Amino acid sequence: MKALVYHGPDSKAWEDVPDAAVQDPTDVVVKVDTTTICGTDLHILQGDVPAVTDGRILGHEAVGTITAVGDAVSGFSVGDRVLVPAITKCGRCAYCQRGMPSHCQTVGGIGWIFGHLIDGTQAEYVRVPYADTSLYAVPQGVTDEQAIFLADSLPTGYEVGVLAGNVRPGDTVAVVGAGAVGLSAVLTTGLWGASKVIAIDSNKFRLEKALEFGATDAVEVGPGTVGDVTALTDGLGVDVAIEAVGYPETLLTAASLVRPGGTIANVGVHGTPVELPMQDMWISNVTLTMGLVDTVSIPTLLKMVAGGRIPAEKMGTHEFTFDQIDEAYDVFKNAAANQALKVVIRP
């Protein structure tokens, strides 16, 4: 089979590799019908994730069809159409039992193993461990384009942003960063009845998309960003500020927007230390949350997509074939210049 293989920083190749096969009784093999690229894949190619070594197949999101089933698998059969999520879970360890499969001990202490600790989904076929507790059947009527973004970006925006931020009916919410994950937060914030959702970004295209996705207001980053948001919230600031970028300045922006008693939900992946103004924040009773997605919200999100409540397909702006995967990476890496959100990649 062919797959996209990592060969060190700034080096990858679409090449022949051994066929994916069942190795353990709990495995299945999935023929990949649709995959996509995540910002984490770009971090890997920059050499930021040392656990990813030469020869690893990249990718951690897929929709596909099961072609082989291990002897211990009881919930899925050959021919089933499934969503392969970014997080793998055994379902039995202490962290899985408490609803935190992002730290599944059985698979290595972190649920994100595809394209990280084992071969990933940017391939013609992928081996999926612990299939019974990790895979999700895709309902009839839900397209590949809708389902693929439930593998990572939509659950991330929803779980680490909206749910961790404790959004409640009537709340005012600011989403700092209107990339794929920020827009996922915008798409799902309305499920909890937020009265005002303010998207903040430096890119006009993303702000336009945020308004399409349900934001009530869009604020372009500039010297007056805090003042603009404050004016939109009767001078109070927001109840919840969701940071979806991962830079010190964006987290500081989120911190400056939240009102006393509010919550800062940090979703962005930070690669450098951030110094927060704790001397000002403590007295304002501000809550700060952060974390890695668990993808436990996928069943709920699948129902919402199937029922037409979440137009997940809007996330995809560009389509490519496997043979065009290098071009797909170039477009996604230069998302702002290409007016790209997420790419859809098929055989």
Judge whether 257 and 226 are in contact, CB under 8 Å. Answer: yes
**CATH number for 183:** 3.40.50.720
Q: What is the reported pLDDT for 153?
A: 95
**Distance in angstroms (rounded) separating the CA atoms of residues 105 and 82:** 24
Instruction: Among 290, 310, 326, identify where a domain stops.
Output: 290
Tokens read off for 248: 């010190």
pTM for the full predicted model: 0.94
What pLDDT score was predicted for residue 159? 98
Note whether 244 and 159 are within 8 A (CB): no
- What's the number of domains the chain is made of? 2
Q: Are 191 and 202 in contact (CB under 8 A)?
A: no
Stretches in the chain below the pLDDT threshold 70: none
26 secondary structure, DSSP code: T
pLDDT on residue 32: 98
Same domain, 188 and 169: yes
Same domain, 6 and 140: yes
204 and 234 co-located in one domain: yes
- Quick one: pLDDT at residue 43? 87
Q: According to the model, what pLDDT value does residue 266 have?
A: 97
pLDDT in the model for residue 272 = 84
Q: Which two tokens stand for residue 102?
A: 């992002």
pLDDT at 297: 97
Of the candidates 290, 309, 324, which is a domain's last residue? 290
Are 183 and 148 part of one and the same domain?
no
| Residue numbers of the domain that contains 232 | 155-290
Residues 229 and 162 in one domain: yes
- 264, 290, 316: which is the final residue of a domain? 290
Which helix (DSSP H) or strand (DSSP E) does residue 337 occupy? helix 335-338
Same domain, yes or no: 138 and 162 = no
Q: Are residues 14 and 145 in the same domain?
A: yes
Q: Are residue 99 and residue 229 in the same domain, yes or no?
A: no
Do 55 and 176 belong together in one domain?
no
Which contacts (CB < 8 Å, 24+ apart) does range 322-330 have? 322/2, 322/14, 322/124, 322/346, 322/347, 323/14, 325/4, 325/14, 325/122, 326/12, 326/14, 328/37, 329/12, 329/37, 329/41, 329/42, 329/45
- Tell me the CB-side half-sphere exposure of residue 20, using CA atoms within 13 A: 28
Give the CATH number, domain containing residue 140: 3.90.180.10
pLDDT tens by residue, 5-51: 999 999 999 999 999 999 999 999 999 999 999 988 998 998 889 99
Count other Cβ atoms within 10 Å, centred on residue 169. Answer: 8
Whether 243 and 204 share a structural domain = yes
**Residue 223 and residue 85 share a domain:** no
CA angle (290, 294, 297) in 5-degree steps: 110
Strands (E), the chain: 2-6, 12-16, 28-35, 62-69, 81-84, 125-128, 136-137, 172-176, 196-201, 217-220, 238-243, 258-266, 287-290, 316-321, 342-346
Whether 137 and 36 share a structural domain: yes
What are the phi and psi torsion angles at 144 (to 5°)? -55, -40
Is residue 30 packed enough to be buried (19+ CB in 10 Å), middle (13-18) or exposed (0-12)?
buried
The H helix count followed by the E strand count for the chain is 13, 15
